């Protein structure tokens, strides 16, 4: 992680900060935040995330030979789904014979599955084509997961990030009146 003292500010941003008045003028200081945001990223993890929720029909579930626990164990451990943008490892598969029967009964298309009432997916990262496929009402296929994994490699999203307030970039190295500038930027951020 870089310390703020080690960062080099963009010349345009540096010039805008230097042109701010030493006395507090809310509009001038607030405009910096409108133009550049309130925080900067100090650390980030890029990649992709895929989460899905299967909503089961309780009445139809009672008519089958499977319990809620059977569904939980099959969808949590039976379906292996993973992605890694560096090795583009993507693994999708079904484990266990009982899961095969349950997943067949559930159906590939969750919109028409007898026990599945709804399917909600949240996808971050990847190409728009693969994201569209993953958020449809169908369980993902190995081919679709591979396509998504390849898309994540070229279109990652922020999975985790650490931010710091923009005023922390103000140091005595770059500004002669750093204390008042920092104080005024803090004030504009809080108002």
Does pTM surpass 0.75? no
Q: Where are the domains of the chain?
A: 46-158
Is 137 in a helix, a strand, or coil? coil
**pLDDT bracket for residue 2 (50, 70, 90):** very low
Helix (H) or strand (E) holding 94: strand 89-94
Q: Rounded to 5 degrees, what are φ and ψ at 37?
A: 90, 175
Q: CB atoms < 10 A from the CB of 60, how many?
A: 13
End-to-end CA distance of the chain: 30
pLDDT tens column, 13-59: 999 999 999 999 999 999 999 999 999 988 888 888 888 777 777 77
């Amino acid at each position: 992680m870089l310390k703020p003292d080690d960062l080099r500010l963009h010349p345009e941003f540096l010039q805008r900060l230097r042109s701010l008045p030493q006395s507090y003028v809310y509009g001038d200081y607030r405009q910096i935040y409108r133009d550049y945001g309130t925080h900067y990223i100090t650390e980030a993890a890029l990649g992709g995330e895929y989460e899905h929720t299967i909503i089961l029909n309780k009445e139809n579930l009672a008519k089958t030979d499977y319990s809620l626990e059977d569904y939980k164990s099959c969808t949590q451990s039976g379906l292996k789904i993973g992605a890694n943008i560096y090795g583009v490892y993507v693994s999708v598969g079904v484990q266990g014979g009982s899961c095969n029967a349950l997943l067949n009964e559930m159906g590939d298309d969750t919109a028409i599955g007898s026990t599945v009432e709804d399917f909600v997916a949240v996808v971050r990262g990847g190409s728009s084509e693969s994201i569209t496929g993953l958020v449809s009402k169908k369980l993902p296929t190995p081919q679709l997961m591979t396509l998504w994994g390849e898309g994540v490699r070229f279109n990652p999203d922020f999975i985790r990030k650490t931010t710091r307030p923009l005023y922390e970039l103000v140091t005595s190295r770059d500004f002669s009146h750093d204390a008042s500038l920092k104080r005024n930027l803090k004030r504009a951020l809080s108002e």
